[in-house]
Structure 1
Amino acid sequence: MRHPVRPVLAGVLLAAALVLTGCSADGSGDTADSKADAGGAAQEAAGPASASAKDVDGRGPAKAPTLTANSIIRTASLTVQVKDVPKALDEARGTAESAGGYVGDETTTRDAEGHERTRLVLRVPTERYDEVLTGLQGAGKLLDRTAKAQDVTDQVVDVDSRVKSQQASVARVRELMDRATKLGDVVTLEGELSSREADLEALLARQASLKDRTSLATITLSLTQTPPVAAAKDDTPGFTDALAGGWHVFVTMLRWIALALGAALPFAALAALAALLWWRIARRRRTPGEEG
C-alpha cells in the first residue's frame, strides 16, 4: 500500500521547480532586453561620431582637412665682384633656368674706367630659393647681400574668400537677368552686373599677383668686374724722374724771375723817365756855352 504523503511531496517539489524555472527565464529575458536597450543607446550615441568619421557616401573615413601652408614673398639682393662679367652672367642665367626660373630683367653698363657692370632680376621657384641664392653668391667675391621674407597668408586667404563671394554674386545677378522681362529691370541689372564684374576682375588680378609673388622668389643680382691689379712701382728715381724734376725747377725759377720783373717794372719806368729828363736839362745847359 502506497503512502499518501509521497505523491503530495512530489507535487510540491515539481511546482516549486516550475516556479524557479519561470523566474530564471523571466530574469534572463529582462537581462537580454536591457542589453539590447543599452546597445541601442550606445549605437545611437555613437551615431553622430561614426557619421562624422565617414564620407558623405559612406565609403570610408573622411580625410582630415589639410592645413594651408604659409604664403611668403621672398626677395633678395646680391652684389658680387667677378673677374669675367659675361661668363658670370651666363652662369647666373643657367642657374636660374635649371631651377625652373627665368631672367626677368637685365641691364649692362660700363663706368669711366671701362669696368663692366650688369644688373639682372631672376625669378625662381620658392622651393629652390635658398639653393639658387647660395650658388649665385659663390660665383665671386660677395660685396653685399640683403634678403627679406614677407608673410602674406592672411591676404591670400582674404582675397580667395572675396573672389568666391564675388563670383557667386555675379552668378546671382546673371540668373536675375535671365528671368527679367521688363526693359527697366534688364538695364538696372546690366549696370549692377558690370560693376560686380569689374570688382571681380580687380580681385582676380590681385589674386594672380599674390600667387606669382609667393610661388616665385625675386633675386636681384649685380655683377661688377674686378679691377686689374696694378704692378708694384719702383720708388728708386731714374733719369726720367731727374729730368722731370730739373724741368720743374727751371720752370719754377722762370716763374719767380717773371714775378720779380713784373714787380720792378713800375720803378724801372720811373727811373728811366727821370734819367731822360735829367739828360735833356743837362744838354740844354751845355748847348749855350758851346755856341759862345
Structure 2
Amino acid sequence: GAVTPATGLATNIEPDRLLVVNVTIDVEVTDVGASVTDVVTAAARHDGQVYGSNVQLADDETATAQIVIKLPPRQVDAVIAEIAALGALISQVQSTDDVTDRVTDIDTRIVTSLQSVARVQLLLAEAKNLGEVVQLEAELTTRQTLLEELLAQQRNLGQQTALATLTVLLHAADAEEIVEPDPLDFEATSSVTNGDGIGDAFGRGGEAFVNAAAAVLIFVGYTAPFLAVGFVALGGWAFSRRRRARRSRSAAPLLPPAPDEGQRTTEHDSAGAART
C-alpha cells in the first residue's frame, strides 16, 4: 500500500555538518512515460539535474523507469512530495552519512602535503649535481601524486555533500485483481456456471468430447507398435502349439477295434461246449 512521504530532511541538516544524503523512492503510477517527464520537470524546478536514467516502455502493464537526480539536500523534501503526488508512494529509503571528520582530515593532509611539495621544490632549485637532481625529482613526483589524490578526494566529498542523490523508481499500477468465486456460494457459482447460456454449455461439452477422443487416438498411436508386436508373437505361439498337437496325434499307436456284441456271445458259447 501507499506510504506517507518522510519529511524533515532539509530542516534536520545542521549548518556545520557535512552530510552525504541518498534517498530512493518507489512510486506506482498509471502512465510511466508521462510520469518520467513530470519527474524531470519537478527536479528542474528545484535546481536538480538528471544524472542517469533507465526507462522501459515496451509494455504498458510492465513499464518501469529508474531516474537518478542530483539536487541540493534542502530541496529533497519538496521534490519527493511532488513526485509522490503523481501516483502512490510505495516505499522510501533514506541514508545519511556524516563525512565532516573525513573532510577535516583531508583538508589538514592537503595543507601538509602542499608544504612538503614546496620544500622539495626549494631543495631541487638548490641542487648542485645530477644525482641530487634525479633523487629530488623522484621525491617531488611522489609527493605531488599524493597531493593530487588528496585533492581528488576533497572534490569528491565536496560534490557528495553539496548535492543529494535521489533515485526515483516508477512502475505501472497493477491490474485489478480477479476475484475467484467461492465454491460454497451457490449464487456466485450458478452465475459463473450458467452465465454463458445453454448453447455455450453444449459447446463446452462438445469441446470436452473432442479432447477425450483426441486423447484416445494419441493413446492408440503410442501403443499401436507394441500391439502389433504382441499380435505377431501370439500368432506364432498359437501356430507352434497346433503343430506340436498334430505331431503328437500322428505318433500315438493305433488300438485294435473292440469286438461287437454278437462276436463276444459266440466265442463264449464255443468255450462252454468245449468244456462239456
TM-score normalised over the length of structure 1: 0.62
Structure 2 CA distance for partners of 1:198 and 1:84, relative to 1, 3 Å:
same
Distance in 2 (alpha carbons) for counterparts of 1:258 and 1:185: 95
- Report SS of the residue matched to 1:221: strand
**Per-residue deviation, 1:145:** 1.7
Gaps of 5+ in 2: 1-13, 181-190, 246-276
Aligned counterpart, 2:152: 205
Residues 1:75 and 2:22 aligned together:
yes
Distance in 2 (alpha carbons) for counterparts of 1:99 and 1:258: 69
Whose helix proportion is higher, 1 or 2? 1
- Report SS of the residue matched to 2:95: strand
**Per-residue deviation, 1:174:** 1.4
**Per-residue deviation, 1:114:** 5.5
**Per-residue deviation, 1:106:** 0.7
Residues 138-159 of structure 1, C-alpha deviation per residue, up to 9 Å, x if partnerless?
3211222211111111101101
Among residues 6, 20, 34, which one is paired with 1:87 in the alignment?
34
- Report SS of the residue matched to 1:139: coil
Residues 232-259 of structure 1, C-alpha deviation per residue, up to 9 Å, x if partnerless?
9972134345313322134315635875
Question: Which letter maps to 1:211?
Answer: G
Aligned counterpart, 1:242: 202
**Per-residue deviation, 1:212:** 0.8
Question: Which letter maps to 2:206?
Answer: G
Distance in 2 (alpha carbons) for counterparts of 1:159 and 1:91: 40
Distance in 2 (alpha carbons) for counterparts of 1:117 and 1:258: 45
Indicate the RMSD between aligned Cα atoms, in angstroms: 3.5
The more displaced of 187-196 and 170-179 is 170-179
Aligned counterpart, 1:188: 135
- Report SS of the residue matched to 1:246: helix
Gaps of 5+ in 1: 1-66, 282-292
Structure 2 CA distance for partners of 1:179 and 1:142, relative to 1, 3 Å:
same
Question: Equivalent residues in 2 for 1:240-279 (5 A)?
Answer: 240-253=200-213, 255-256=215-216, 270=234
Residues 41-72 of structure 1, C-alpha deviation per residue, up to 9 Å, x if partnerless?
xxxxxxxxxxxxxxxxxxxxxxxxxx971111
Please say if residues 61 and 172 of structure 2, whose CA atoms lie closer than 8 Å, have aligned partners that are also in contact.
no
**Per-residue deviation, 1:129:** 1.9
Distance in 2 (alpha carbons) for counterparts of 1:83 and 1:189: 67
Aligned counterpart, 1:290: none
Distance in 1 (alpha carbons) for counterparts of 2:120 and 2:85: 57
Residues 156-213 of structure 1, C-alpha deviation per residue, up to 9 Å, x if partnerless?
1101111111111111211222232322222211111100000001001111111111
TM-score normalised over the length of structure 2: 0.65
Aligned counterpart, 2:249: none
Structure 2 CA distance for partners of 1:68 and 1:114, relative to 1, 3 Å:
closer
Aligned counterpart, 1:173: 120
Residues 105-134 of structure 1, C-alpha deviation per residue, up to 9 Å, x if partnerless?
111125777622111111111121222222
Among residues 95, 98, 105, which one is paired with 1:148 in the alignment?
95
Structure 2 CA distance for partners of 1:113 and 1:253, relative to 1, 3 Å:
farther
Aligned counterpart, 1:115: 62
Distance in 2 (alpha carbons) for counterparts of 1:221 and 1:125: 16
Q: Which structure has the larger Rg?
A: 1
Distance in 2 (alpha carbons) for counterparts of 1:251 and 1:150: 65
Residues 56-98 of structure 1, C-alpha deviation per residue, up to 9 Å, x if partnerless?
xxxxxxxxxxx97111111011111111112111111112122
